[in-house]
Amino acid sequence: MPDVLVAGETLVDFLPESDTPLATTEAFARRPGGAPANVAVRLAQLDRPAWFWTRVGSDPFGDFLVETLADRGVPDRFVERDPSAKTTLAFVSGDPTSGPRFTFYRDGTADTRLEPGRVPDDALDAVEWVVVGSVPLASDPARSAVRDLVDRANDRDCTLVFDLNARPELWGDADFREQVDRILPAVDAVKASPEDLGPAGIEGDTADIDTVAPQLHERGPHTAFLTLGEGGAVARSTADAPWGPTEASHGGYVVDAVDTTGAGDAFTAGVVDALAGGERDLRAVLERGNAVAAAATTRAGGMAELPDPDSVV
């Protein structure tokens, strides 16, 4: 039985086949995506298959995603099909150095229609870790569904990991901050990049863990993970963390990056895999997260096969 549950969106990313703006791009490569879906796939590739609660349309894009998740080893118990809503699409632009930018087609799509109570209590009783992201919080009923899941997971003493993933096209800054402020007191660990933190109301140098972490700790999480792209990642925890009060950093790995889409999600999967496996040294946790992220960037798309999972240590 899986000891991790991941919840949130699955969608189709369209990546330009040339380095041109979206307005002039004529050809795209179709890739499966969605931050929580990427996390679930990476966990399966690391031999830690997780339950994945998501919802896609009963359309050809939904067929593609369901088949992809199955092919990648993700259990299908909570992969839902919506008979009356389409699957979300996202068009990606950017390059390996600047990072990806997204244009979403997500108005009333299937992943916005997650419903409370669809993951039963017995499933939450069986898992120790629950991973959720901020995108479903952008609208109801998915917002209420995720809050319900988080509340029931807390009642069962699950460890909750929150991916603070700001997508400006989906949010007004004030609403995004409000929803983040509401969920942070209910989670144990938060992962973010500097770009995510300003819209969430974090002030000062958002690339400095000594600036960022205290503001996050005040809102609830005992552990904060900050990804810094080519600079690696840093983490800080309080005395409330099972691994105690500590600060750690890891400089990452130098690779020939092909596509950075989903690198942060691969990092999250590596961190959860390490923690769920019993690792309590935060530097070793960061090392694992960075190794998985670096390996993921050497292939195109957020769910591409890791080049050699056995070598990710």
Structural domain count of the chain: 1
Q: For residue 126, is it within any domain?
A: yes
Give buried/exposed letters for 34-60 (b at 16+ CB in 10 A, else e). Answer: bbbbbbbbbbbbbebbbbbbbbbbebe
CA separation for the pair 129, 190 (Å, rounded): 13
pLDDT band at 103 (very low <50, low <70, confident <90, very high): confident
Q: Which of 293, 287, 294 is nearest to 313 (CA)?
A: 287
Asked whether residue 45 is assigned to any structural domain, the reply reads yes
pTM reported for the whole predicted model: 0.94
> DSSP string covering 196-219, please?
HHTTTT--S-TT-HHHHHHHHHHH
Domain span at residue 280 reads 4-9+34-85+116-304
- Residue 87: in which H helix or E strand, if any? none
Q: Angle at the Cα of 227 (from 92 to 273), degrees rounded to 5?
A: 95
pLDDT-derived band at 303, boundaries 50, 70, 90: confident
At 262, give phi and psi (nearest 5°): 85, 5
Q: Is residue 237 part of a domain?
A: yes
How does residue 23 score in pLDDT terms, banded at 50, 70 and 90?
confident
Instruction: Please indicate, yes or no, if residue 309 is contained in any of the structural domains.
Output: no
The answer to whether residue 25 sits within a structural domain is no
- pLDDT the model gives residue 15: 82
CATH number for the domain that contains residue 131 = 3.40.1190.20
Q: What is the pLDDT of residues 41-91, one digit of tens each?
A: 999 999 999 999 999 999 999 999 999 999 999 999 999 999 999 999 988
- In the predicted structure, residue 99 carries a pLDDT above the cut 60: no
Distance CA 34, CA 207 (A): 24
Nearest CA to 129 out of 45, 35, 51 is that of 51
Longest dimension (CA), the chain: 53
| 19 inside domain | no
Q: How confident is the model at residue 17 (pLDDT cuts 50, 70, 90)?
A: confident
Average pLDDT of the chain is 92
Handedness of CA 218, 146, 72, 165 (dihedral sign): negative
Residue 306 pLDDT class (50, 70, 90 cuts) = confident
The per-residue pLDDT for range 270-294, each reduced to its tens digit, is 999 999 999 999 999 999 999 999 9
Distance CA 293, CA 113 (A): 30
In a domain, 14, yes or no: no
With respect to residue 131, please indicate whether it lies within any of the assigned structural domains.
Answer: yes
